[in-house]
Chain A
Amino acid sequence: MSILRPFRATDLFSFNNINLDYWTETYSLSFYQSYLATWPELCVVAEHPSSTLMGYVIGKVEGRGTDYHGHVTALSISPSHRRINLATVLMDVLERVSDEMHKGWFVDLFVRLSNATAIGMYKRLGYSVFRRVVGYYGDDEDAYGEHAPLMA
């Protein structure tokens, strides 16, 4: 497997092999650091023993009452490290933290309608579409909102 550890700001110097991917955005410094400053426990990296980064998940918790839930903001695996269940492992960490640490009710995420690969993956992980958000993305593409319940 891979070493699972907290995402650190200095990982931004080493994540190019993950981010130079059509579907993965490289956001501003403050985007990543805002998440690390607010929800450090929901930002996780999978690291190869050679120190190469293999993938990461960035998430948050939001909502109130029974709407309190974990949210996947970004999940990306480097092309050289696919098909070894990494996405499942990272999602599992995020779900467990959302559940055990934050006592959230479910986890949700948005995914581009055109990203068939990601949609298929989330389906395998037990996520189902619960809505469509028109023009969600910056380039006006629609998003599917998907969610999966947590064991509360």
Chain B
Amino acid sequence: MSGRALLESRRVRPIYDALDSGAYRSAAATAQKLLKSQPDYPLVQALLCVALIRSGRASEARPVALKVAAKRPAEASVLGALQMALVDLRLFDEIAKLYKDLWDRSKGTNEEFGAHAVMGFARVKDWKALQAVALKMHKAHNEGNYLWWGIAGLYLQAINSPEAQRSLLLTLPSRLISSQPSQTLHPERLHLHLRILLAQVPPDAPADHASLTEARQVLGKEGVAEVVKTSLALQEIRREVLERAKRWDELREDAVKELEAGSVNYANHLSLISALQHLSSEEATSSARSLFEARVAAVPLERGHLLAQLELERVLPSSPSDPTRLHELINAYFKAFGTKPVCYEDLRPYLAHLLDAQQPVAPILEHFRAVFAGESPTLQTIINAHKLLRFAEGVRTAEEESEKAEVFMKLHAEGLPHGKNLPETELQPADDLAVLAGLALISAWSTSHDVKYLHRALVHLESALAQSTPSYRLKILLIRIYRLLAAPSPVFAHSGSLRIQNIQQDTLSHFALSRASIFSTAADGDHSIFLAFPSLGNGGIWGMGEKENAEMIVKAYHKEAYSQLEDFISFADRIANSLQRHLALLELRKLDLSDGAVSDNRDYSLIPEWQAHGVSVDAQTDMGTKQAGHWLRAFALIYKGVLGASLGSTQVADNETAVEAFKTELTPQEAALFDFAHVLVQFNAATDDEARKSTVQAAAVFFKELEREYENATSEKSVALPWEALHIAQTAFEANALLELAVPAPSANKKKKGKAPSAPLFDVARSTLLKISEPPATALAVEGKFKADCGDLNAELVQTVGKGLQDARRKIWEGVKEGASRRFGTGGGA
């Protein structure tokens, strides 16, 4: 190393060391000290940016980073640090521009700058700029991967362009590929080649479209078949090509060949069945039936072959309108695989098919019932039989469901010993019986509106969970029921125990967080409920995801994983536009709302949907309506309107058509709140007393209606659930908050106050809130009723669960009362 370089290395080494060891403040301080004597030192400036960002001072780093970038430094060490800073600052465009300029200045000779420019454009999805650089690089250096970077860029540019331009834009990459001396056998490049050809085929294209023919020719070229054989991705796209080209015989022959060779990939079975549907050949269908039968005989432990028989019989029945053969196959399947957990999921569609076609199912149900009378049926077989019967036997009365629940719990108790030697980390084989008991009681409540069934469900589910602590199904049902019963502490305890990590924030946080604001104690407005998801305040998975996803698109591009690109981009978009992100953050009262499309990534599939055909547990246990895009827009409008009013805007939005669209996703109270927000804006916009008077009247009606609903919901005879009363109270609080935001408060001076036009608004809000925030007797007297409802169950557990429910409920209502009391003073003036 030269003397100069050695000196420089000595000066900056401490900064690197400090960054490496996480001492970011120290790194920043050292860098700043160095810059005092040498203010124009790009490397140290770049390192300073990194240190500032990592110590939470990104806003200070930003101007420095932009300044360094503007100088277009070409040294590797500077660029390394600068890129790190720009990525952390999400200044992705700057990175792309920086390297593009450096590459231009090198007159396209510096491959490293060029490659970075390509990756920079990949990061921001500027495919047009990307392919231009890549193809120039290919021309200059003739490297295979530059060409394919360019081809991929052209493809992505084409598919993201308006339809009219797409075809033209796709001809260039096609030509680039076909002008190559030989067919690529690189699996990713081959996959991309086929995708480009498929993209040129319009949806209604004939089977002999030129691109389809070309795709088939590519698949037939020397060496390609061997590559396809080892690649599931290529096998998938090959099937797609043949399907688009309507080569049903070829698809059929391929599938038969694979199955005869022992393939267990169900994609082959499905491909064969699909081909048969299009061929409409009795001979071919009959031959397939024989093939499946032979495979069943040869490999009886492989359920795919039996499933394929079922599927074939469903879509191409041996005797139309005669379900006998389907019955035989269902029974055969149950006999062979009734001991497997997957049995219910496998057979359910075929039962549904029979039920929907109103064909008889009795012979099959008899077969399932026979299990209970059989000799030592396995626990799983009993469970499967019960699940299938539950699905097919139709809806029961509340009493029947309640009795069924006790049967399930008895079986659960009998089944527990099967898992007594299992470690605590394993699920209990008997779990599903407790889940079934819970579901039966949910149905009993849903039919009768008698909350005792939900109380009993809690006891049974908590009891089962104590024996099987990892069971997510039990936890999710408990979460759903506790929410309905307005008991947030156990909700968050159970959702916390799910150990939701990373992406699951997006897909699973909704179980605990949807409408969670009704559980935040109005006393301190703290959002302690969100302690279950601590990183939400920092942007959560969505904040981190933005950077990670961008880097991964770059990585996939760099590694030529072309088969992944579109999916990576789709994934990144779905995270960025996540509905749950907006819902969760709105629940936290942040208003970073985009008006763009949102992607609903919420996973509801974990709810065990094992009720009768046509009955949804999700629908039964939802707390109000499902919040989605319309809900988001409605609340965005509420807050934008009110905030606008608070800033003096008198713009009154037309909301009539909007409410109609939103109604499906708003509870009645939320819809009323929406109108109330509109009233507030109108109040501010009113120019005369008459107009103001009418809006005050409308507001008074809103609050009086809330009072009436509250009284109804909390009366002794009410069948409303506890969360509903809380929701009414929360709506009143929210309305009051909106009022305080939108309308200037009347003067504190009693003489002046009485004359202020807004005084009646505040008076009625206060009066309603003080009434509604009184904990209802029905809410507080839970423990006694709980004990009475569950008197025959385990006394200790009933005591624990009942007390837990009571305490949680009391805590929430006390918080509500305290919140009102703090806001308005106890019984005194505002």
Q: Hey, which bits of chain A sit against chain B, CB under 8 A?
A: 1-6, 8-10, 12-14, 16-17, 19-23, 25-30, 33-34, 36-38, 40-41, 44, 48-50, 52, 54, 79-85, 89, 93, 96-97, 100-101, 116-117
Query: A30: which of B229, B233, B236, B548 is its contact (CB, 8 Å)?
Result: B548
Chain B residue at minimal CB-CB distance from A44: B232
Query: B498: which of A2, A20, A36, A49 is its contact (CB, 8 Å)?
Result: A20
B residues less than 8 Å from A19 (CB atoms): 504
B140 close to A (CB within 8 Å): no
Tell me whether A10 and B571 are in contact in the complex, defined as CB-CB below 8 angstroms, given that A3-B270, A30-B552 are known contacts: yes
Q: How far is the CA of A131 from the CA of B96 in the complex (A)?
A: 46
Q: How far is the CA of A33 from the CA of B547 in the complex (A)?
A: 13
A-B pairs under 8 A by CB, number: 166
Contact B265 A3 (CB under 8 A): yes
Q: How far is the CA of A84 from the CA of B187 in the complex (A)?
A: 31
Chain B contact surface mostly: helix
B340 close to A (CB within 8 Å): yes
**What class of interface size applies to chain B in its complex with A?**
35 or more
B826 close to A (CB within 8 Å): no
Tell me whether A41 and B187 are in contact in the complex, defined as CB-CB below 8 angstroms, given that A17-B605, A23-B425, A93-B232 are known contacts: yes
Contact B601 A13 (CB under 8 A): yes
B393 close to A (CB within 8 Å): no
B residues less than 8 Å from A34 (CB atoms): 552, 555
Which one of B298-306, B732-740, B772-780, B791-799 is at the A interface?
B298-306
B632-672 interface bits toward A, Cβ cutoff 8 Å, 1 = contact, 0 = none: 00000000000000000000000000000000000000000
Q: How far is the CA of A61 from the CA of B303 in the complex (A)?
A: 31
Chain A residue at minimal CB-CB distance from B599: A13
* Chain A nearest Cβ from B789, distance in angstroms: 31
B507 close to A (CB within 8 Å): yes
Q: Taking each of B545, B552, B603, which has the highest tally of chain A beta carbons within 10 Å of its own beta carbon? A: B552
Tell me whether A14 and B605 are in contact in the complex, defined as CB-CB below 8 angstroms, given that A19-B504, A49-B270 are known contacts: yes
Contact A6 B233 (CB under 8 A): yes
| A-B complex: 7 closest residue pairs judged by Cβ atoms | A1-B304, A33-B552, A9-B571, A37-B556, A22-B425, A26-B501, A37-B555
State which residues 515-559 of B face A: CB under 8 Å.
541, 544-545, 548-549, 551-552, 555-556, 558-559
B residues less than 8 Å from A33 (CB atoms): 548-549, 552, 555-556, 568, 571
Q: Taking each of A17, A33, A52, A85, which has the highest tally of chain B beta carbons within 10 Å of its own beta carbon? A: A33
B17 close to A (CB within 8 Å): no
Tell me whether A80 and B230 are in contact in the complex, defined as CB-CB below 8 angstroms, given that A17-B605, A26-B501, A33-B548 are known contacts: no
A residues less than 8 Å from B575 (CB atoms): 29
Query: B188: which of A26, A27, A40 is its contact (CB, 8 Å)?
Result: A40
Contact B507 A40 (CB under 8 A): no
Contact A16 B601 (CB under 8 A): no
Q: Hey, which bits of chain B sit against chain A, CB under 8 A?
A: 187-188, 229-233, 236, 264-267, 269-270, 301-304, 307, 311, 337, 340-342, 345-346, 349, 423, 425-427, 470, 472, 498, 501-504, 506-508, 541, 544-545, 548-549, 551-552, 555-556, 558-559, 561, 563-564, 567-568, 570-571, 574-575, 601, 603, 605-606
Chain B residue at minimal CB-CB distance from A38: B559
Chain B residue at minimal CB-CB distance from A97: B230
* Chain A nearest Cβ from B467, distance in angstroms: 15
Contact B232 A80 (CB under 8 A): no
Query: A16: which of B301, B341, B507, B545 is its contact (CB, 8 Å)?
Result: B507
B residues less than 8 Å from A93 (CB atoms): 232
* Chain B nearest Cβ from A41, distance in angstroms: 6
Tell me whether A29 and B552 are in contact in the complex, defined as CB-CB below 8 angstroms, given that A10-B571, A22-B425, A81-B342 are known contacts: yes
Q: Taking each of A5, A84, A116, A117, which has the highest tally of chain B beta carbons within 10 Å of its own beta carbon? A: A84
* Chain B nearest Cβ from A148, distance in angstroms: 19
Q: How far is the CA of A2 from the CA of B303 in the complex (A)?
A: 9
B residues less than 8 Å from A22 (CB atoms): 425-426, 470
Q: How far is the CA of A17 from the CA of B497 in the complex (A)?
A: 15
Contact A48 B345 (CB under 8 A): yes
Contact B230 A13 (CB under 8 A): no
Q: How far is the CA of A21 from the CA of B501 in the complex (A)?
A: 12
Q: Taking each of A20, A28, A97, which has the highest tally of chain B beta carbons within 10 Å of its own beta carbon? A: A20
Query: A41: which of B233, B270, B541 is its contact (CB, 8 Å)?
Result: B233
List 7 A–B pairs whose Cβ atoms lie within 8 Å, in order of A's numbering.
A3-B265, A12-B571, A28-B548, A37-B568, A40-B563, A81-B341, A84-B342
Query: B506: which of A13, A17, A117 is its contact (CB, 8 Å)?
Result: A13
A residues less than 8 Å from B541 (CB atoms): 29
Contact B341 A80 (CB under 8 A): yes
A residues less than 8 Å from B233 (CB atoms): 5-6, 40-41
Contact B307 A10 (CB under 8 A): no
Q: How far is the CA of A25 from the CA of B502 in the complex (A)?
A: 10
Chain A residue at minimal CB-CB distance from B555: A37
A residues less than 8 Å from B506 (CB atoms): 13
* Chain A nearest Cβ from B781, distance in angstroms: 36
Query: B503: which of A13, A52, A79 is its contact (CB, 8 Å)?
Result: A13
B residues less than 8 Å from A41 (CB atoms): 187, 230-233
A residues less than 8 Å from B502 (CB atoms): 26-29
A residues less than 8 Å from B472 (CB atoms): 20
A1-B269, A40-B563, A80-B342 given; 13 more Cβ-contact pairs under 8 Å: A2-B266, A4-B265, A12-B571, A14-B605, A16-B606, A27-B501, A37-B555, A38-B561, A80-B341, A81-B342, A93-B232, A116-B423, A117-B426
Contact A29 B232 (CB under 8 A): no
Chain B residue at minimal CB-CB distance from A47: B266
Q: How far is the CA of A84 from the CA of B333 in the complex (A)?
A: 13
Q: Taking each of A44, A80, A82, which has the highest tally of chain B beta carbons within 10 Å of its own beta carbon? A: A80
Query: B301: which of A13, A30, A40, A85 is its contact (CB, 8 Å)?
Result: A85
Contact B564 A10 (CB under 8 A): no
Contact B567 A9 (CB under 8 A): yes
Q: How far is the CA of A26 from the CA of B502 in the complex (A)?
A: 7
Tell me whether A40 and B564 are in contact in the complex, defined as CB-CB below 8 angstroms, given that A3-B266, A14-B605, A29-B548 are known contacts: yes
A residues less than 8 Å from B307 (CB atoms): 1, 49
Contact A82 B341 (CB under 8 A): yes
Contact B266 A49 (CB under 8 A): yes
Contact B555 A52 (CB under 8 A): no
Chain B residue at minimal CB-CB distance from A89: B264
Q: How far is the CA of A68 from the CA of B307 in the complex (A)?
A: 39
Contact A36 B303 (CB under 8 A): no
B residues less than 8 Å from A10 (CB atoms): 567, 570-571, 574
Q: How far is the CA of A21 from the CA of B302 in the complex (A)?
A: 25
Tell me whether A8 and B567 are in contact in the complex, defined as CB-CB below 8 angstroms, given that A16-B504, A79-B427 are known contacts: yes
A residues less than 8 Å from B342 (CB atoms): 48, 54, 80-81, 84
Contact B551 A30 (CB under 8 A): yes
Contact A4 B606 (CB under 8 A): no
Q: How far is the CA of A70 from the CA of B561 in the complex (A)?
A: 18
* Chain A nearest Cβ from B458, distance in angstroms: 21
Contact A80 B304 (CB under 8 A): no
Query: B232: which of A2, A6, A17, A25 is its contact (CB, 8 Å)?
Result: A6
A residues less than 8 Å from B187 (CB atoms): 41, 101
A residues less than 8 Å from B567 (CB atoms): 8-10
* Chain A nearest Cβ from B549, distance in angstroms: 7
Contact B559 A52 (CB under 8 A): no
Contact A6 B303 (CB under 8 A): no
Tell me whether A37 and B230 are in contact in the complex, defined as CB-CB below 8 angstroms, given that A3-B267, A4-B267, A28-B502 are known contacts: no
Tell me whether A84 and B340 are in contact in the complex, defined as CB-CB below 8 angstroms, given that A1-B264, A22-B470, A41-B233 are known contacts: yes
Contact A36 B603 (CB under 8 A): no
* Chain B nearest Cβ from A57, distance in angstroms: 12
